[in-house]
Amino acid sequence: MSPNRDFVGRVYRSDEPYLVGREKLREFATAVGIKHQACHNVAAAQALGYPDIIAAPTFAVVVAQRAEAQYVGDPAAGIDFDRVVHAEEAFSHNRPIVAGDELSTALEVVSLTERAGLATITTQVDITDSSGAPVAQVKSVLALGGAR
């Protein structure tokens, strides 16, 4: 089964906001080797002017992948998750993600190209806070191998 080309341009919005937890940020920072104290210690983050600890820049992928799951999990999209590989990921930030943020997402299927049995799908996830202000944007390229 090939991915459904009619999904290019489709937007998936989050059903519920993602509540950013302090311990989740600490665990992520530790896992990716971030030692900056603003990612671990509330007082250090506040000394820099943030209300709470901040996320490592790549933490946005946690939120973005929840949005991607809506698309990949849509049976009509025609995507076999077992055949998906992340080929590329790029982040842009308007501000750091902070513990206590309630983040919403809108994923757009930007493009889909098929060549020689390989499909590449580009998605863009816009992440906003509870006021609707932009926080980050994650662009991903998914590679999808041919049918089994």
The closest alpha carbon to 80, from 2, 15, 16, belongs to: 2
Check whether 147 has a pLDDT greater than 70.
Answer: no
Q: How many CA atoms lie within 13 A of 15 on its CB side?
A: 5
Structural contact between residues 119 and 113, judged by C-beta atoms closer than 8 angstroms: yes
**pLDDT, tens digit, for every residue of 13-33?**
999 999 999 999 999 999 999
Of 37-41, 65-69, 87-91, 142-146, the range with the lowest mean pLDDT is 142-146
Q: What is the mean pLDDT of the chain?
A: 94
Bridge partners for 127 per DSSP: 105, 136
* Measured distance CA(123)–CA(18) in Å, rounded: 19
CATH number of 5-20+55-144: 3.10.129.10
Residue 123 to residues 2, 46, 49, 51, 90, Cα–Cα distance (Å): 17, 34, 33, 31, 11
**pLDDT, tens digit, for every residue of 103-136?**
999 999 999 999 988 899 999 999 999 999 999 9
**pLDDT, tens digit, for every residue of 47-72?**
999 999 999 999 999 999 999 999 99
Q: What pLDDT does 1 receive?
A: 66
Residue 93 to residues 3, 23, 55, 57, 139, Cα–Cα distance (Å): 30, 21, 11, 8, 12
Q: What pLDDT does 40 receive?
A: 98
Q: What pLDDT does 81 receive?
A: 81
Check whether 87 has a pLDDT greater than 90.
Answer: no
Q: What pLDDT does 84 receive?
A: 86
* Measured distance CA(92)–CA(60) in Å, rounded: 9
Residues 6+ apart with CB under 8 A from 96: 50, 54, 55, 57
